[in-house]
Amino acid sequence: MNPYRLLIVDDEPNILKVLSAALNKRWFRIKTAQSGEEALEKIRGERFDMVVSDFKMPGMSGEQLMVKAKTLFPELPFVLVTAYGTIESAVNAMRKGAYTYRTKPIDLNLLETIIREALQKESAEKPFGPESYQFRKIVGTS
């Protein structure tokens, strides 16, 4: 089985290192981006099974990234993580399509559980990105 491909987005390099190392050990293939703009460029060019993004970043926020990415790949799961969480921002993020919204610091075991639940909810065979091909309800006659 191919490992899931995750994109982790955060403007803090140390958080990227910690999350990348921890999730890489848990059999995920990790790519990182330090801004929403960089992440969107990667999403346009590569296939990802999920995005884990900081909510508050300079320039494009994690929520703005999610909205733009979902116009390209509507079923791409997003987990938004923030140090500045409010109930209102969590509700808004969920309404806009976030799988979940968590506050920092996030327990790595909990994050892994959230990621695996989200990926199991989606079809394991359904990749997201420019290399993906989705066939739904194919009907044919011969």
The residues pairing with 80 across neighbouring beta strands, listed in sequence order, are 53, 101
Tell me what pLDDT residue 126 has.
52
The dihedral formed by the CA atoms of 22, 25, 27 and 32, expressed in degrees to the nearest 10: 50
Q: Where are the alpha helices (DSSP H) in 1-142?
A: 13-24, 36-45, 62-72, 87-95, 108-121
Q: Helices (DSSP H) in 46-82: which residue ranges?
A: 62-72
- Decide if 10 contacts 91 (C-beta within 8 A): no
Percent over 70 (pLDDT), the chain:
84
| pLDDT above 60 for 127 | no
Amino acid in position 60: M
- Per-residue model confidence (pLDDT) at position 38: 97
Residue 125's pLDDT is: 45
Band the pLDDT of 141: cuts 50, 70, 90: low
pLDDT at 114 over 50: yes
Q: What is the pLDDT of residues 54-94, one digit of tens each?
A: 999 999 999 999 999 999 999 999 999 988 877 888 888 88
